[in-house]
Amino acid sequence: MTERGYGAVALAPQAVLRFVLPSLASLLLFLVPFRIDGRSTILVAELAAWLNKGLAPALPTLILLIAGVSALASLVLSLRRRERGLLGMLFCVRWYWVVLRLAGAAIAALVLFGVGPEFLSGDRTGGTMVRQLVPNVMTLFLAVIFLLPLMTEYGIMEFTGVLLSRFFRRLFRLPGRGAIDAMASWLGAAPLGVLVTMQQYERGSYNRREALSIVSSFSLASVAFCLLIASILDITAIFLPFYGSVAIVSVLLAMVVCRLPPLSRIPETYHCEARNDETVPAGESLGRWALLQAVDRAARAQPPATQLRHSAVRLLDLWFGLIPTVIAIGTLALALAEYTPVFAWIAWPFELYLGLLGVPEAAAAAPSMVVGFADMILPAVLGQGIESELTRFIIAGVSVTQVIYLSEIGALLLRSKIETSVPQLAGIFLVRTVLAIPLFVFLGNLFLD
């Protein structure tokens, strides 16, 4: 059959609807902002908030149960080296993950029973992780994971990828489908974009460098989180120029950081057979080829029952693997920031850097430039007492665009099949921070004057 004949068959109305209807549903759920109670939000974020509120009384007990089962099962099965089946996949892990899971379960117990040393169970360390961050992440995964196939299985990634391939390749050295990951993060939540990217990497749609570049460049804080940071630092009166600056700097960083080490040195290896060809054949129009690719992907989508089963397994893997790990890593990082001068020592070069750029109160602002590697909220907490509005503007902007936070994105990446390490993530974080600071200094002086 000729290519034209194949196209006529492939673009039959029923085949096109199989692509269009789930894709429209995914756009409405994940990417289209709505005004709800005076706030701009997306439907899946509202679903996560509703689940969080409804499950709030049971979440502490559930978190402790998940962390405890994860720790004990990982210890037993890892010693036995049982690697087959669902139990092996969930709990047979390397020794350092076993240690982290045991530590996370212990910290969760200390927090929920109100015992133990303050630096582990206090409200500003373990309490922040167990009572604030983990419940939000947990319910977000529950809301997202069963709906995510609407975005990844029915062609919207392929359609967007073909349409934006030249633009994204030229500017960011990335496939066009990365635009979907970026929008999911920006309009929803950063972990949502990471989940999309992880799933695409496991399917062979991205190589390792592309996947890590997308996660570290486009897993940006949502609009809601940007507003939270602005309120903590008391710059809500200038939120529009602040958010505009975040958008400008994020695009510039995405263009530059992918061309610098460590991202530029990451091998372009695939997790499985590559499936990311977005090239338009000669003589074929861009729009028609994008539609053909999308319809073909939708035709190959797995049955809904299979998708539900795979989503349930992925949710269990995220809950049992990530929750105790996030608690352990996040609490340790918060304890170092709260009770030791470690981050102040690390921040000394940034004090000199900020001083050279003429930033007011550079000494007070410097620790805020580095603590974001531990947790996304810490820079705003440390910087809220600074008098200079310009300096608070810079802290807010840099903290939002640093992206790599060990307590959330970092832990999720380290648990993923995108092979990476803490030193590698620290290198990406450092490059983004060093480049972002002068950009926000310039934009802050421009807008605030």
**CA 352 to CA 341: how far, in whole Å?**
17
Cis preceding linkage at 262, omega within 30: yes
3-class DSSP state of 25: helix
Q: Where do we find the tokens 């263009």?
A: 255
**CA 94 to CA 419: how far, in whole Å?**
14
Q: Rg of the chain over CA atoms, in angstroms? A: 22
Query: In the prediction, which pLDDT does 9 show?
Result: 45
The helix (H) or strand (E) run that includes residue 157 is helix 156-172
Per-residue model confidence as pLDDT tens for the chain (449 residues): 334 444 444 688 899 999 999 999 998 888 787 877 777 677 888 888 899 999 999 999 999 999 999 999 999 988 876 667 888 888 988 888 899 999 999 999 999 999 999 999 998 889 988 998 889 888 888 988 899 889 888 988 889 888 888 888 888 888 888 888 777 776 656 777 788 888 889 888 899 999 999 888 887 776 667 777 888 888 888 888 888 899 899 999 999 999 999 999 999 999 887 776 677 888 788 899 889 989 998 999 999 999 999 999 989 988 998 899 889 988 888 888 888 888 889 999 999 999 999 999 999 999 999 988 887 778 887 888 899 999 999 999 999 999 888 877 888 888 888 889 999 999 999 999 999 999 999 999 999 86
Q: What percent of the chain has pLDDT over 70?
A: 94
